[in-house]
A and B are shown apart, each in its own frame.
Chain A
Amino acid sequence: MKNKISLLNMLGRYGTINGLLLVIGAVTILGCDGDYKQEVTTLNNLVWADEFDGSGSPDPTYWSFETGTGQNGWGNFELQNYTDRTQNVQTQGGNLIITARKESFAGSNYTSGRIITKDKIDWTYGRFETRMRLPYGQGMWPAFWMLGADIDNNEWPGAGEIDIMEYRGQEPTVIHGSVHGPGYSAGQAETKSYELTNDRFDTGFHVFGIEWGPQYINYYVDDVLYNQITPADVDGEWVFNKPFFILINLAVGGTFVGAPNNETVFPQSMLVDYVRVYAYE
């Protein structure tokens, strides 16, 4: 499978992206105010969930591990070696716990975990949400995201990528939601950030979700809708009308966050209370 290169050039082009977003935001607010609110949260038909109530490794019926270092650190010069050990990935006490550790492992200085539902279960449209407590510190990069299930035959970014939540450990109050597709990937991805006020993402659980329909992807943090992306927003083909699978991972270092420094506290864990999928209705 093609590895993720999300936001590779984002830092360097951030100003431009911000500028674009501002314009889009203004247009949306003026012209599409109704669109932001019209899509009511659809929590009627739960079609799949993992509440992570077991113990040990996550349920192999739905999840598999991606291990190792990928190519060029999973395309992002990430520093961790993903393992399937319970030290890095385990369900315990009602949570999935993915732990990044500072340790020598097969030539890497860090270990962590990444699990995916690829080739096991995928979905087209619906509400996808997770409830998570995130880690903190320079170089921590947790993500809850989706990739087009045809990625083996449809090279990234053609298959499409929906980043429901990405986060930099050095910015504990901010998360990012993005889509990548042909013509709008990496630095040109359509992305928006959401900042908590008087709270942070690493001290308690928060819900990160999207509502995905044929003509839109709405982004939520807790009960706040903070972005809507439609075919009109992207500079290329809208590829979000086919099955996508889910990924959960905690990367260490990489272009999006930079390497950990001597102030980064290890180990760091992300706790996942649940992942739930509701049908599009």
Chain B
Amino acid sequence: MKNKKIKNIITALVVGALATVTTSCERTASDEAVPATFSTNGDIFTDAPVGLGNFFYFPFAPDATNPVGSKFDAFSVDDSESYKGTASIRFDVPNANDPDGNYAGGIFVIDGTGRDLTGYDAFTFWAKASQGATIAHIGFGEDFGENKYRAVRQNIQLSTNWVKYIVPIPDPSKLVEERGMFTYAAAAPATGLGFAFWIDELRFEKLGTIAKPRPEIFEGQEISQRSFLGFEIAINGLSQTFNLANGINQPVICTPAYFNFNSSNPQTATVSELGIISLIGDGTAEITASIAGVEAQGSLTVEVDGAFVTAPDPTRDPSNVISIFSDSYNNVPVDFFNGFWEPFQTTESSNFNAGGNNMISYSNFNFVGNQFANPTVDASEMTHLHMNMLIPNEIPADLDFLVTVVNFGADGVEGGGDDNREQLFFFADDFEADTWATLEVPLTLSPRSNLGLIIYENINNPTTSEIDNFFLDNIYFYKQ
């Protein structure tokens, strides 16, 4: 109570001072437009949320990778635990099989205008957990809007003691009006059993010991690749690393908006501030980046060689075809072209359109599947599988590409003891780099009245025959 009174007096004094200043400078102030100024308060949570407004906690919603989303009520303020003062933030990470959400994750976003954080160099907090635990990420800059200046530390190891954690700000000068005060995500460990963790004294602060910035794009790799006019390439593997006072080099995963991107040849490739490279002319361009004038490790040298050639148009009579993916036929209902199977799948996918022709683009490939089980496909009368596939750049000599067609059986779902499958192998001599291969193979699995899934795998990946990305088109079963 005492503190509060003192605060009020100070506030009154400050207001008084401001009023005086305003009065004496009235003429100047009204003559010129004054840039808006935002709160420079660094505190986010001390014993209660600080200046976040009424509605600031938003759990992560369901998305493609998680149909339930975060457990809704994972966040609370705990009046019985604190590093300092009387209360802390508590997160209850649910059990892995919790039907209300199998992880905890969300954001604190200011319910109101943002803050000017340019005077700080770090986002810091004290934390502990009910057991030794790994938190997938903690950071700031996520507001469910553009998430423009998101920056997080990943895989933070918590112990059962209070420890201070530091997330360096990749470039404070960017944070002139930031609303995203906190983001986190945590899941139960392999045991499947949930736990609790606490965060206290959560704030932005100026440590003065955040030094030696080492930004990276493409995870610091110097990449070369060939590509085509009209293509876009997203710059990934973005991070900023600082040396902390304890000697640790602390990486922070951050968004493209912290970087300045450069193209050595803007006639060939341009880069947006969101880190999207657009290939606009033939030639070669090197894409580099920097944060606050410090050159990032990693680059992409892209050679653009003409327009992308689309797959040959199918000519078969539609009445002899059951199509999974093609612009030339009516396709059956497809559940997904990428199952994002956890935890081992790395493959990312995008629907790619070149000159009105849609195709599937897979990148960061290890394996991926197309599911079409609602309803399943009765291909009993179909004799063959057809696919067009293009591998850019280079065909690994020992490529062993496996396509598995899965029949879900009478129960119409994967598993259940009645599935059968056929494995179809393709090798390096079935392909030519940058050229559409037409793959047509007989289907011999029996029965095939409830087909539900096609799986693509690179058997030798990743040690000797990596194919990072490829394109698929005209996936269909046909009758000869």
Residues of A within 8 A of B (CB): 136-138, 168-173, 197-200, 202-203, 263, 265
Decide: A198 near B209, CB < 8 A? Known: A137-B243, A169-B247, A170-B247: yes
For residue A137, which residues in chain B have a CB less than 8 angstroms away from its CB? Answer: 243, 247
For residue A138, which residues in chain B have a CB less than 8 angstroms away from its CB? Answer: 247
Q: Tell me the bound Cα distance from A198 to B210 in angstroms.
A: 9
| Residue B206 lies at the interface, judged by CB distance under 8 Å to chain A | yes
How many residues of B are counted as interface, with CB atoms below 8 angstroms from the partner's CB atoms?
Answer: 12
Q: Tell me the bound Cα distance from A262 to B454 in angstroms.
A: 43
Q: Is the CB of B247 within 8 A of A199?
A: no
Decide: A198 near B212, CB < 8 A? Known: A136-B243, A173-B245: no
A195's closest neighbor in chain B, by CB? Answer: B245
A-B contact pairs, 6 of them (CB 8 A): A168-B247, A171-B246, A172-B209, A172-B243, A198-B209, A200-B209
Q: Is the CB of A202 within 8 A of B211?
A: yes
Complex interface residues of chain B between 246 and 262 (CB less than 8 A to chain A) = 246-247, 249
B213 to chain A, nearest CB (A): 11
Partner of A199, one of B208, B212, B249: B208
Partner of B206, one of A171, A198, A263: A198
| Residue B29 lies at the interface, judged by CB distance under 8 Å to chain A | no
Given A172-B211, A197-B208: 6 more A-B contacts, CB < 8 Å: A169-B247, A171-B246, A199-B209, A200-B209, A200-B245, A265-B212
B466 to chain A, nearest CB (A): 24
Complex interface residues of chain B between 123 and 157 (CB less than 8 A to chain A) = none
For residue A172, which residues in chain B have a CB less than 8 angstroms away from its CB? Answer: 209, 211, 243, 245, 247
B295 to chain A, nearest CB (A): 14
B247's closest neighbor in chain A, by CB? Answer: A170
Decide: A263 near B249, CB < 8 A? Known: A136-B243, A137-B243, A198-B206: yes
Q: Is the CB of A202 within 8 A of B247?
A: no
For residue B206, which residues in chain A have a CB less than 8 angstroms away from its CB? Answer: 198
Q: Tell me the bound Cα distance from A22 to B207 in angstroms.
A: 27
Q: Tell me the bound Cα distance from A202 to B211 in angstroms.
A: 8
State the majority secondary structure of interface residues on A.
loop
For residue B209, which residues in chain A have a CB less than 8 angstroms away from its CB? Answer: 172-173, 198-200
B212's closest neighbor in chain A, by CB? Answer: A136
Q: Tell me the bound Cα distance from A156 to B262 in angstroms.
A: 57
| Residue B214 lies at the interface, judged by CB distance under 8 Å to chain A | yes
For residue A263, which residues in chain B have a CB less than 8 angstroms away from its CB? Answer: 249
B 341-370 binary contact with A (CB < 8 Å = 1; else 0)? 000000000000000000000000000000
For residue B207, which residues in chain A have a CB less than 8 angstroms away from its CB? Answer: 198
For residue B245, which residues in chain A have a CB less than 8 angstroms away from its CB? Answer: 172-173, 200
Q: Tell me the bound Cα distance from A200 to B249 in angstroms.
A: 15
B205 to chain A, nearest CB (A): 10
B 189-211 binary contact with A (CB < 8 Å = 1; else 0)? 00000000000000000111101
B299 to chain A, nearest CB (A): 19
B214's closest neighbor in chain A, by CB? Answer: A265
Interface centre among B214, B245, B249 (most CB of A within 10 A): B245
Q: Tell me the bound Cα distance from A25 to B97 in angstroms.
A: 58
B298 to chain A, nearest CB (A): 16
Listed from nearest, the 4 A-B pairs whose CB atoms lie closest are A170-B247, A198-B208, A203-B211, A173-B245
For residue A173, which residues in chain B have a CB less than 8 angstroms away from its CB? Answer: 209, 245
For residue B208, which residues in chain A have a CB less than 8 angstroms away from its CB? Answer: 197-200
For residue A197, which residues in chain B have a CB less than 8 angstroms away from its CB? Answer: 208
Q: Tell me the bound Cα distance from A202 to B247 in angstroms.
A: 11
Partner of A171, one of B212, B214, B247, B249: B247
A224 to chain B, nearest CB (A): 16
Complex interface residues of chain B between 211 and 257 (CB less than 8 A to chain A) = 211-212, 214, 243, 245-247, 249
For residue B243, which residues in chain A have a CB less than 8 angstroms away from its CB? Answer: 136-137, 172, 202
A93 to chain B, nearest CB (A): 19
Q: Tell me the bound Cα distance from A197 to B207 in angstroms.
A: 8
Q: Tell me the bound Cα distance from A138 to B124 in angstroms.
A: 24
For residue B214, which residues in chain A have a CB less than 8 angstroms away from its CB? Answer: 265
For residue A203, which residues in chain B have a CB less than 8 angstroms away from its CB? Answer: 211-212
A245 to chain B, nearest CB (A): 32
Q: Tell me the bound Cα distance from A265 to B212 in angstroms.
A: 10
For residue A169, which residues in chain B have a CB less than 8 angstroms away from its CB? Answer: 247
B249's closest neighbor in chain A, by CB? Answer: A263
Q: Tell me the bound Cα distance from A197 to B209 in angstroms.
A: 8
Interface centre among A168, A171, A203 (most CB of B within 10 A): A203
A173's closest neighbor in chain B, by CB? Answer: B245
Q: Tell me the bound Cα distance from A203 to B246 in angstroms.
A: 15
Q: Is the CB of A202 within 8 A of B249?
A: no
For residue B246, which residues in chain A have a CB less than 8 angstroms away from its CB? Answer: 171
Q: Tell me the bound Cα distance from A173 to B209 in angstroms.
A: 8
For residue A200, which residues in chain B have a CB less than 8 angstroms away from its CB? Answer: 208-209, 211, 245
Q: Tell me the bound Cα distance from A202 to B206 in angstroms.
A: 17
B121's closest neighbor in chain A, by CB? Answer: A198
A17 to chain B, nearest CB (A): 21
Q: Tell me the bound Cα distance from A33 to B411 in angstroms.
A: 88
